[in-house]
Amino acid sequence: MSNATIDPQRPVGELAREVPAYTRVFEAAGIDYCCGGDASLAMACDQAGVNLDDVREDLADVQTDDAQAIDWDDLADLIDDVVETHHQYLREELPALEGLVRKVARVHGENHPELEALRAAYLALAPAMKAHIREEEEEVFPIIEKLDRGDSLSDAERRRLREVIEEMEADHEETAELLDLIAELTDGYTVPADACPSYESMIERLDALERDTHEHVHKENNVLFVEAETKLSDGVESRNS
Ligand SMILES: [Fe+2]
Ligand SMILES: [Fe+2]
């Protein structure tokens, strides 16, 4: 089947899961495929204010045998990928970028009053993300790994897993709102004409943080949590039959 025939009613999260390279097209078009992954391609294009046919053409140009494809069926491997790729990056980048955001706000605040709001948004975002990844590693992933191994879960563990997945998804929404605010305050990560190298580096790294977070949240919301919930429901059915 040719990509040009992609059904506009298919959810964007599902498309991104099937062909990871599609996320580059979604990023470029400003389409939300992570927290808004349940929206159809047509609806997501409408929300982003982009032309559906143009996006379908861009998707058709993507090489679907892209090497970055991950074996989504193995949840333990997916958890390792999330921790090693995204959580590790955040552990290093969040504190380093915090120093830079503070410094740029201090030095350039007079000419760029929006930097005070940017600093405040970042200082709300960074500790929340740090707490979030710790909770995933300590509370959420161990139960999913147990489920993935086929070990039976107690009723309390099943309830807890459903609860924490909902909490994590709510955290993702809050993170997305703060990142949207940061994108707005930097005029879509535009480097101003009077920026020094530190300012430029801050903008580039904030942009990279947003892109990485989209990919990260997509892997959790649209793959890991969906698969865990499917396994939970399967377990209930087989116990009741
Ligand atoms: Fe995570
Ligand atoms: Fe997460």
Ligand nearest to the CA of 81: 1
Cα of 133 from ligand 2 centre, angstroms: 6
Tokens of 22: 């599609």
Residue 141 has pLDDT above 70, yes or no: yes
Mean pLDDT, range 132-150, rounded to an integer: 96
Cα of 241 from ligand 2 centre, angstroms: 34
Q: Nearest CA to 224 among 158, 174, 165, 152?
A: 165
φ/ψ of residue 11, rounded to 5 = -65, 140
Mean pLDDT, range 205-224, rounded to an integer: 96
Tell me which of 68 and 210 has the higher pLDDT. Answer: 210
pLDDT of residue 2: 46
Dihedral sign for Cα 167, 169, 173, 174, please: positive
Hey, what amino acid is at 46? D
> Using an 8 Å Cβ cutoff, are 182 and 122 in contact?
yes
pLDDT of residue 105: 97
Domain boundaries defined on the chain:
3-66, 75-240
Mean pLDDT, range 106-112, rounded to an integer: 94
Euclidean distance between CA atoms 173 and 169, whole angstroms? 6
What secondary structure does DSSP assign to 166-225, as a single string?
A: HHHHHHHHHHHHHHHHHHHHTTTTPPPTT--HHHHHHHHHHHHHHHHHHHHHHIIIIIIH
pLDDT of residue 3: 46
pTM here? Answer: 0.88
Tokens 């993300």 belong to 129
Residue 67 has pLDDT above 60, yes or no: no
Ligand nearest to the CA of 79: 1
pLDDT tens sequence across 158-196: 999 999 999 999 999 999 999 999 999 999 999 999 999
Cα of 109 from ligand 1 centre, angstroms: 32
pLDDT of residue 1: 42
In CATH terms, is domain 3-66 a member of 1.10.357? no
Q: What is the CA radius of gyration of the chain?
A: 20
Cα of 87 from ligand 1 centre, angstroms: 6
Cα of 172 from ligand 2 centre, angstroms: 6
Cα of 79 from ligand 2 centre, angstroms: 11
Q: Nearest CA to 144 among 79, 85, 88?
A: 79
Residue 71 has pLDDT above 80, yes or no: no
pLDDT of residue 69: 60
Cα of 224 from ligand 1 centre, angstroms: 10
Q: How many residues does the chain have?
A: 241
pLDDT tens sequence across 11-54: 999 999 888 889 889 999 999 998 889 999 999 999 999 999 99
DSSP character for 5?
A: G
Euclidean distance between CA atoms 216 and 123, whole angstroms? 20
